[in-house]
Amino acid sequence: MPPSSAPLTQKPEWQALLQQKSQLVNVAMRDLFHTDPQRADRYLITGAGLSLDFSRNRLTDETLSALTNLATACGLPQRISDLFTGATVNLTENRPALHTALRQPADSSVLVDGRDIIPEIHATQARMEQLDRDIQIGTQTGHTGRAFTDIVSIGIGGSFLGPKLAVEALKPYWQSNLKCHFVANIDGTDIAETLKPLNPETTLFLVQSKSFRTQETLDNSLVAREWFLTNGGNENAIASHFMAVTANTDEAVRFGIHPDNIFPMWDWVGGRYSLWSAIGLPIALMVGMDNFRALLAGAHAMDCHFKEAPAEQNLPVVMALLSIWYNNFWGAQSHAVLPYDEYLKHLPEHLQQLDMESNGKKVTQRGIPVDYETGPILWGGVGANGQHAYYQLIHQGTRLVPADFVIPLTSHNQVAEHHAALFANCLSQARAMMAGKTEAEAAQELVDSGLDEASTAALARHKAIPGNKPSNILLMDKVTPETLGALVALYEHRTFVQSVIWDVDCFDQWGVELGKQMGNEILPRLIDNGEVGSAGDSATDNLVSLFRSANRR
């Protein structure tokens, strides 16, 4: 079936989904399970070491076909091919998005402007490996010859969230006593508290910035540099303690980083897709290059699954279509990601940038305003803790919050029966969301506990839980470099598939620019001592005055 040129909401496939919604609106998921004993088996699919149980969703086989028909009508197969082959998928910035090339094997090839980019990717990995080895065996040390004990990675957004997620998630694989710290925030507290316990002689700074123009990163790096110089370092020693990963070598050199200490980034890697590049150096240095390569291999396995698996068996495609289903047909405004694994605690933060910076868009690729909702608000946190906080709203609030539960079958830490308890919590929450509890069931429980009739009638209404709340359970054997790589790549492709349906550019982020520009106009008004003109509106001017008096300017 060729893609249709009709606007999204006028495509027959969209209309078919509206029909599906009206057929399912009064259908309870618990009844779908009763009438279809094969449902759980049919809606459990696997790929790249991950399994997706999507049986607890408001859909039937017909709905699934209608969703995949929509994907085909939006040209998904061609767009997947475009993504992998280096076509210009980022139209507003006129470039490809080739994060998938970063995890391809050395004997493959991907052409950008007629040049194969795979050799330089692997040459960079070889440099990362060399650095890792030299630090481990002690041939690369601080300027006084002492081995490095601490790495400080300075970067923000994609130059921070992905590496931080992976470093923390792969803690069982840390290879030595080396510690890794991340500084992102322009709030001086971040760098000040990070530097406090560190010894400049044994600290290595990685300045991580694709553009080398990001205020937070540059200001924090200047503070780090000054701290190093005033605590026993000197200009010559900077080369031993400061490295950079950037696509803007000239600026990095101007900043004072030695050219030999600069690892490349490329135009065709988006910030939020960059943990697979040398931006992943903190990961490689913490877990070793073999494990970093295993992370890449896991992501590559997911890339192959995404390219090859039929739509209805394809994890990223199914997850993206389910998200479209609730976002566009059931009015869901947000999506929760709930990892049931302490090591994955930073997953929601990384996915928040990935998804919201990618799909928070209001015009189509050709600049036409959309007449449908695009990216939902993605949020979440580690399960179990959330159960005692925001799950109440998920179960009984008025909003629909579809959720992804992410859980490994086995734990790195066999502590009593904790993992079984954790797993039970995850399953019970998914089941409670799906099945709920009717008012009659709640009343019966109260009667059984001996409550009188009047109190039962009053309380049952509060205890009833509507259920019919959709969720996915994503499973892996254990959190390993391979499964983590596959997991992150899965969400990357899920994000891409959604953008294809919504016809938005998921690789640009113009929305973040205005705030940066205005920040540059406001800052001098806060720090100059003399007369300052208006920043443009009285509300801003009032608070500028308040700040100036609080800081005596």
Which of 86, 157, 383, 470 is in the footprint of ligand F6P by CB under 6 A?
A: 157
Is 156 a binding residue for ligand F6P by CB under 6 A? The answer is yes
Per the residue annotation, which of 201, 349, 357, 492 is the catalytic one?
357
**Strand-by-strand arrangement of the 377-380 sheet:** 44-47, 50-53, 471-476, 403-408, 334-339, 377-380
Cα separations in angstroms, 502 against 281, 354, 360, 379, 495? 34, 16, 11, 20, 11
Cα separation of 442 and 457, whole Å? 10
The reply to whether 300 belongs to the active site is no
Cα separation of 350 and 154, whole Å? 16
In a 10 Å sphere around its CB, with 0-12 CB exposed, 13-18 middle and 19+ buried, how is residue 449 labelled?
A: exposed
Q: Which of the ranges 6-14, 47-55, 157-165, 334-342 carries the binding residues for ligand F6P, by CB under 6 A?
A: 157-165
Residues 224-283 that bind ligand F6P (CB under 6 A): 271-272
Q: Which of the ranges 169-177, 206-214, 325-333, 538-546 carries the binding residues for ligand F6P, by CB under 6 A?
A: 206-214
Residue whose beta carbon is closest to ligand F6P: 271
Locate 1 and state its tokens. Answer: 């079936």
The reply to whether 345 belongs to the active site is no
Q: Which of the ranges 138-146, 205-213, 364-372, 544-552 carries the binding residues for ligand F6P, by CB under 6 A?
A: 205-213
Q: Which of the ranges 23-31, 79-87, 154-162, 319-327 carries the binding residues for ligand F6P, by CB under 6 A?
A: 154-162
Adjacent-strand bridge partners of 179: 150
Handedness of CA 478, 482, 486, 488 (dihedral sign): positive
Reduced to 3 states, what is the DSSP secondary structure of residue 160? coil
The helix (run of H) or strand (run of E) holding residue 279 is: none
For ligand F6P, the closer of residues 17 and 378 by Cβ is 378
Which of 20, 68, 314, 509 is in the footprint of ligand F6P by CB under 6 A?
A: 509
Is 540 a binding residue for ligand F6P by CB under 6 A? The answer is no
Is 214 a binding residue for ligand F6P by CB under 6 A? The answer is yes
Query: Which amino acid would we find at residue 63?
Result: T
Compute the least distance from the CB of residue 209 to ligand F6P, in Å. 3
Which of 86, 158, 298, 436 is in the footprint of ligand F6P by CB under 6 A?
A: 158
Number of amino acids touching ligand F6P (CB under 6 A): 14
At what angle are helices 289-308 and 315-324 packed, to 10 degrees? 70
Tell me the per-residue interface mask from 42 to 81 with ligand F6P, x by CB under 6 A, - otherwise: ----------------------------------------
Reduced to 3 states, what is the DSSP secondary structure of residue 480? coil
For ligand F6P, the closer of residues 47 and 163 by Cβ is 163
Adjacent-strand bridge partners of 379: 336
For ligand F6P, the closer of residues 282 and 383 by Cβ is 282
Instruction: Give one DSSP letter per residue of 54-102, joined into a string.
Output: --SSS--HHHHHHHHHHHHHTTHHHHHHHHHHT---BTTTTB---GGGG
Q: Which of the ranges 31-39, 76-84, 153-161, 489-497 carries the binding residues for ligand F6P, by CB under 6 A?
A: 153-161
Cα separation of 259 and 120, whole Å? 17
For ligand F6P, the closer of residues 157 and 298 by Cβ is 157
For ligand F6P, the closer of residues 346 and 395 by Cβ is 346
- Is 268 in contact with 112 (CB distance < 8 Å)? yes
The reply to whether 516 belongs to the active site is yes
Compute the least distance from the CB of residue 353 to ligand F6P, in Å. 7
Per the residue annotation, which of 196, 362, 388, 462 is the catalytic one?
388
Is 153 a binding residue for ligand F6P by CB under 6 A? The answer is no
Residues that bind ligand F6P (CB under 6 A): 156-159, 209-211, 214, 217, 271-272, 357, 509, 512
Would you please indicate which residues are annotated as catalytic (active-site) residues? 357, 388, 516
